[in-house]
Amino acid sequence: MRLIDADKLRENWLYGGENESIYNTNDVLESIDEQPTIETRLEVVTKEPKDYRFETPKNLSAGLVTEYCPECEQEVSLYWGIRQDGYKAFCPYCGNRLMLCSECKADGFNCDYKTKTDTCQFNKKNDAIYYDAKDIASWFLTYNDKVMIDGDSDYISNLKLQKLLYYAQGTYMALKDKCLFKDDIKAWKHGAVVEAVYSEYKHNKSAGIEDYGEFNPECIDEDTRIVLEDVYDFFGQYSTWKLENMIHEETPWKETALNETIRVESIKKYFLENYIEKERTVNRNEIN
């Protein structure tokens, strides 16, 4: 298992620098029970880096923490120090929040974890909000209804809704460094699909969705609503088939086998490089 950022390790091992002691190659190799031979060093520093959703701690002496992710059932090992890094970490495989209960100083009598809200005194809900994809879908449908009042839109079909969920997840992860919703996104023939949402509205077939039940858009926090509005304004202007063709040309869908789950790491990396960073570059050029 990869434990730290290979790019940082490569930079410090090959070129040295003031942070050399922070990413000590021998420490890392010893932690994974390998001898620090030149061959092993090169293997470590030349591996393709894995895009983890937590920052590498500033001090590796913090210790190795192992947690079980209840979402994807993976055992996750990471260097972590509660004092400098807090209790907020995310699973590198699925993006689910890790509670780091094994590091908690509260004993069983002082633990105030609440199952209903999935929070405790050290890991507040606002630190890592995950929505249900169905709620995000309902937000898009509700917002679209408001736009339709001005005559600037039509009802959203189920297939188009799937595309908006994909672009919302990618945009949000690139901006906020965490998942918008927990649900997997599958690579289907016609693009990216959240199966639970697709099943919810499949009776509409290709028609626009008019009935989606009662929904209060205020249940989505303001910062998230701003991101969703931007996603709707930018991607919502395109037809279903235009969005499908766009997704078919994007790396996350292309590198995923048909009907398999698109990796959240792939989505985040692609959106960061091809949407967010490009937009920032354009803005900087306009200012200059």
Rounded to two decimals, what is the model's pTM?
A: 0.58
Secondary structure (3-state) at 66: strand
Summarised one tens digit per residue, pLDDT across range 185-221 is 999 999 999 999 999 999 999 999 999 988 888 889 8
Distance, CA of 35 to CA of 29 (rounded, Å) = 7
pLDDT over threshold 60, residue 21: no
According to the model, what pLDDT value does residue 32 have?
Answer: 41
pLDDT of residue 129: 57
Per-residue confidence band for 100, with pLDDT thresholds at 50, 70 and 90: confident
Largest CA distance in the chain: 68
Q: How far apart are the first and last CA of the chain?
A: 44
Q: 106 pLDDT exceeds 80? A: no
Q: Does position 8 have pLDDT exceeding 50, yes or no?
A: no
**pLDDT for residue 281:** 67
CA gap 264, 52 in Å, rounded: 10
Q: Return the higher-pLDDT residue of 12 and 144.
A: 144
Whole-angstrom distance, CA of residue 20 vs CA of residue 18: 6
- For 135, residues 6+ apart whose C-beta sits below 8 A from its C-beta are 181, 215, 219, 220
State residue 123's pLDDT score: 63
**How many other C-beta atoms are found inside a 10 Å radius of the C-beta of residue 247?**
21
Q: What is the pLDDT of residues 168-190, one digit of tens each?
A: 999 999 998 889 998 999 999 99
Q: How does the average pLDDT of the chain come out, rounded?
A: 75
Q: What is the pLDDT of residues 220-267, one digit of tens each?
A: 988 899 999 999 999 999 999 999 999 999 999 999 999 999 999 999
- More confident: 19 or 227: 227
The dihedral through the CA atoms of 202, 204, 210, 213 has a sign that is negative
Q: What is the DSSP letter of 256?
A: S
Confidence of residue 85 (pLDDT cuts 50, 70, 90): low
